[in-house]
Structure 1
Amino acid sequence: MEQYIGEIGQLLLSKVNSVYSLFDYFVLGVNALIFLFSSKIVSKLGYAESDRRYNASVWMLRLVNLTLFVLYFLAVFFTEKARPLSVTGLTLLCSFLLAHLFQLHALKRYGRTREIAGTETLSHTYQSEVIGLIGWAVAALISFLIVINVWDMTSWLHTTSVLGAVVLIVYSTKDVWAPDNINGLILLYNNDVEPGSVVQVREIDLLAVVVRTTLTQTVFKDLRRKYKILLPNSRFRACKIEILTSNSNDNLDCNADFKIGYGFSSEQIESFLTQVWQWVADDGSLINEERPPKVRIVENGDHAVVWRLSYRINSAYRLIEAEYLINRAAYDLSYELGIGLNTPLTHSIDNPTLSHLAEKAER
Structure 2
Amino acid sequence: MEDPYIEFVAGWGQRILGWFLPNLNTIEWTGHIAILLWSAMMVIFSGRLFTMVENTSSTMLKMKAFRSLNFLVIILMLLDLFLLRFHQNYEQLLSKIGLSLFTTYSAIYLYSLASFHTFKRFGAEKTIDNRSVYVETYSTRIINLLLVVCATFGTFYIIIKVWGADSLLETTGLMGILVGFLAFTAPVWAPDIISGLIILNSQMLEDGDVVVIDGFPNEYIISKVSFVYVTLYDVRNNHRALVKNSRFLSGKIDNLSKIASTEGMRAKLSYNIGYPKLEGRSGSERVEAFESFMKKIDNMFSRAFEECASNEKTIQINTNKPFEWALTQTGDYALEFTMWFYFNRIPNTKVTATARKHLMGTAYKVNQAVYKASIFEDIDLATPDLANITFNDSLSVENMRNTPSAGEEQTQPTDLKNAPDNMA
Same fold (TM over 0.5): yes
> In 1, distance between residues paired with 2:263 and 2:300?
24
> In 1, distance between residues paired with 2:177 and 2:209?
43
Q: CA deviation at 1:107?
A: 0.6
Match of residue 284, structure 1, among 312, 324, 333: 312
1:28 alignment partner AA: S
- Kept in 1, the 8 Å contact 2:211–2:253? The answer is yes
| Residues 124/277 of structure 1: CA separation in 2 closer, same or farther (3 Å cut) | same
> In 2, distance between residues paired with 1:354 and 1:65?
89
1:25 and 2:36 correspond: yes
Identify the structure with the greater helix proportion.
1
1:126 and 2:138 correspond: yes
Match of residue 52, structure 2, among 44, 48, 72: 44
- Kept in 2, the 8 Å contact 1:299–1:305? The answer is yes
For residues 36-71 of structure 1, what are the alpha-carbon distances to aligned partners after superposition, in whole Å with 9 as ceiling and x for unaligned? x3xx6444314543xxx8689668746854764675
- Kept in 1, the 8 Å contact 2:301–2:373? The answer is no
Match of residue 397, structure 2, among 304, 328, 350: 350
- Kept in 2, the 8 Å contact 1:68–1:89? The answer is yes
| Residues 339/161 of structure 1: CA separation in 2 closer, same or farther (3 Å cut) | same
What does residue range 155-304 of structure 1 map to in structure 2 within 5 Å?
155-246=167-258, 252-264=264-276, 265-285=293-313, 286-304=316-334
- Kept in 2, the 8 Å contact 1:294–1:311? The answer is yes
- Kept in 2, the 8 Å contact 1:197–1:245? The answer is yes
| Residues 243/271 of structure 1: CA separation in 2 closer, same or farther (3 Å cut) | same
1:326 alignment partner AA: V
Q: CA deviation at 1:209?
A: 3.1
Q: Which residue of 1 aligns with 2:365?
A: 325
1:284 alignment partner AA: E
> In 1, distance between residues paired with 2:188 and 2:75?
32
Q: CA deviation at 1:310?
A: 2.1
Q: CA deviation at 1:234?
A: 2.2
> In 1, distance between residues paired with 2:185 and 2:202?
26
Q: CA deviation at 1:360?
A: 4.9
| Residues 31/251 of structure 1: CA separation in 2 closer, same or farther (3 Å cut) | farther
Q: Which residue of 1 aligns with 2:345?
A: 315
- Kept in 1, the 8 Å contact 2:229–2:242? The answer is yes
Q: Which has the larger radius of gyration?
A: 2
> In 1, distance between residues paired with 2:187 and 2:324?
50
> In 2, distance between residues paired with 1:151 and 1:234?
40
For residues 315-349 of structure 1, what are the alpha-carbon distances to aligned partners after superposition, in whole Å with 9 as ceiling and x for unaligned? 32412221021112123333332222233235546
| Residues 345/227 of structure 1: CA separation in 2 closer, same or farther (3 Å cut) | same
- Kept in 2, the 8 Å contact 1:245–1:252? The answer is no
Q: CA deviation at 1:126?
A: 0.8
> In 1, distance between residues paired with 2:45 and 2:189?
31
Q: CA deviation at 1:124?
A: 0.4
Q: SS at 2:251's partner residue?
A: coil
Provide structure 1 residue ranges, at least 5 long, that are not aligned to the other structure.
1-12
> In 2, distance between residues paired with 1:59 and 1:352?
83
> In 1, distance between residues paired with 2:297 and 2:203?
42
What does residue range 32-71 of structure 1 map to in structure 2 within 5 Å?
32-33=43-44, 37=47, 41-46=49-54, 48-49=56-57, 61=66, 65=70, 68=73, 71=76
Q: SS at 1:340's partner residue?
A: coil
| Residues 197/279 of structure 1: CA separation in 2 closer, same or farther (3 Å cut) | same
Q: SS at 2:91's partner residue?
A: helix
Q: SS at 2:215's partner residue?
A: helix
Q: CA deviation at 1:353?
A: 8.1
- Kept in 2, the 8 Å contact 1:252–1:314? The answer is yes
| Residues 99/33 of structure 1: CA separation in 2 closer, same or farther (3 Å cut) | same
1:113 and 2:125 correspond: yes
> In 2, distance between residues paired with 1:45 and 1:181?
24
| Residues 303/212 of structure 1: CA separation in 2 closer, same or farther (3 Å cut) | farther
> What is the RMSD computed on CA atoms of the aligned residues?
3.5
- Kept in 1, the 8 Å contact 2:43–2:71? The answer is no
1:305 and 2:335 correspond: yes
Percent identical among aligned pairs is 22
Q: CA deviation at 1:257?
A: 1.8
| Residues 360/129 of structure 1: CA separation in 2 closer, same or farther (3 Å cut) | same
Q: SS at 1:252's partner residue?
A: coil
Question: How high is the TM-score relative to the length of structure 1?
Answer: 0.79
- Kept in 1, the 8 Å contact 2:42–2:67? The answer is no
| Residues 237/270 of structure 1: CA separation in 2 closer, same or farther (3 Å cut) | same
1:26 alignment partner AA: L
- Kept in 2, the 8 Å contact 1:216–1:232? The answer is yes
Q: CA deviation at 1:314?
A: 2.2
Q: Which residue of 2 aligns with 1:9?
A: none
| Residues 22/174 of structure 1: CA separation in 2 closer, same or farther (3 Å cut) | same
Q: SS at 1:341's partner residue?
A: coil
Question: How high is the TM-score relative to the length of structure 2?
Answer: 0.69
| Residues 60/307 of structure 1: CA separation in 2 closer, same or farther (3 Å cut) | farther
